[in-house]
């Protein structure tokens, strides 16, 4: 039997199997997207999408408003204000979640360096009790990278300049957001999305082990597939 014919048949069978499954309901996809936007703290986008998609995800408006305020404060680089808001919204969380607190303290140090307040940055670095940095290698590494910014006349152009980019603020905001959601016993914003993608990748890996041709995810960003 021609091996090439086997491959063609395998692809045809794959498409037939896919057609045998009921299509994902648009309502289910819309709820998944709406819940992600709510969990990630994109309130305006969540409200607009929910209205357009005609879905009603469960959400505590008061809690979400406060959480979004904290996230936005961090994204604007106001770490100290964010810490005050966290303590007001979730008393004791700063003390209990050392990693989250470390990330906020690190952000404050970074913002001082960004502003060129070197003396204030050095004073802050010496005055703050970096408990988390003394306990984990990851925190120690982050502190080393942050303090290394002080050694460069142009921190933005240094090998550690990524700490001064907006994406770092966003990562800190994500850390705090997830800590607040955990405290409230709510689902993480990326939980279902990650589970779906992990399931896709696991399935692809299992099929590859058995040397079976299948349709694989070609691009996460564009959600396109290809036959391999």
109-142 confidence digits (pLDDT tens): 999 999 999 999 999 999 998 877 667 889 999 9
CA dihedral 23, 28, 32, 35 (to 10 degrees): 180
**What's residue 149's pLDDT?**
95
3 state DSSP class of 131: coil
pLDDT value at residue 47: 79
d(CA 204, CA 62): 42
pLDDT in tens for each of the 228 residues of the chain? Answer: 444 444 444 566 766 776 777 777 788 778 778 777 877 777 788 778 888 888 876 666 667 888 889 999 999 999 999 999 999 999 999 999 999 999 999 999 999 999 999 999 999 999 998 877 667 889 999 999 999 999 999 999 999 999 999 999 999 999 999 899 888 777 666 656 667 777 878 887 887 777 766 667 666 655 566 666
Q: How would you classify residue 18: left for phi > 0, otherwise alpha for psi between -120 and 50, otherwise beta?
A: alpha
Q: What are 54-67's pLDDT values in tens digits?
A: 887 666 666 788 88
By the 8 A CB rule, do 212 and 13 touch?
A: no
Which residue bears the tokens 């204000």? 81
What is the distance between the alpha carbons of residues 90 and 180, in angstroms, rounded to a whole number?
Answer: 8
Unique residue bearing structure tokens 């391999």: 228
Whose tokens are 């408990």? That residue is 131
Tally of helices (H runs) and strands (E runs) in the chain: 11, 2
Give the tokens for residue 177: 């957001």
For residue 225, give the 3-state DSSP assignment.
Answer: strand
Query: How many Cβ atoms sit within 10 Å of the Cβ of residue 142?
Result: 18
CB-based contacts of 95, cutoff 8 Å, min separation 6: 101
């Amino acid at each position: 039997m021609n091996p090439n014919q086997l491959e063609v048949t395998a692809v045809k069978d794959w498409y037939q199997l896919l057609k045998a499954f009921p299509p994902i309901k648009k309502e289910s996809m819309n709820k998944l997207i709406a819940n992600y936007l709510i969990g990630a703290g994109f309130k305006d986008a969540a409200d607009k999408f929910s209205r357009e998609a005609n879905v009603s995800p469960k959400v505590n408006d008061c809690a979400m408003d406060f959480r979004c305020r904290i996230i936005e404060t961090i994204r604007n680089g106001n770490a100290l204000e964010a810490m005050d808001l966290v303590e007001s919204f979730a008393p004791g969380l700063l003390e209990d979640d050392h990693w989250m607190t470390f990330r906020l303290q690190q952000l404050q140090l970074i913002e001082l360096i960004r502003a060129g307040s070197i003396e204030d940055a050095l004073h802050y670095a010496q005055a703050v009790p970096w408990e988390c940095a003394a306990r984990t290698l990851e925190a120690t590494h982050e502190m080393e990278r942050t303090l290394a910014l002080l050694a460069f006349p142009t921190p933005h152009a240094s090998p550690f300049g990524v700490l001064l980019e907006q994406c770092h603020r966003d990562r800190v905001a994500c850390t705090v957001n997830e800590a607040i959601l955990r405290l409230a016993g709510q689902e993480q914003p990326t939980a279902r999305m990650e589970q779906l993608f992990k399931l896709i990748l696991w399935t692809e890996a299992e099929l590859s082990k058995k040397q079976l041709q299948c349709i694989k995810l070609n691009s996460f960003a564009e959600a396109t597939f290809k036959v391999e």
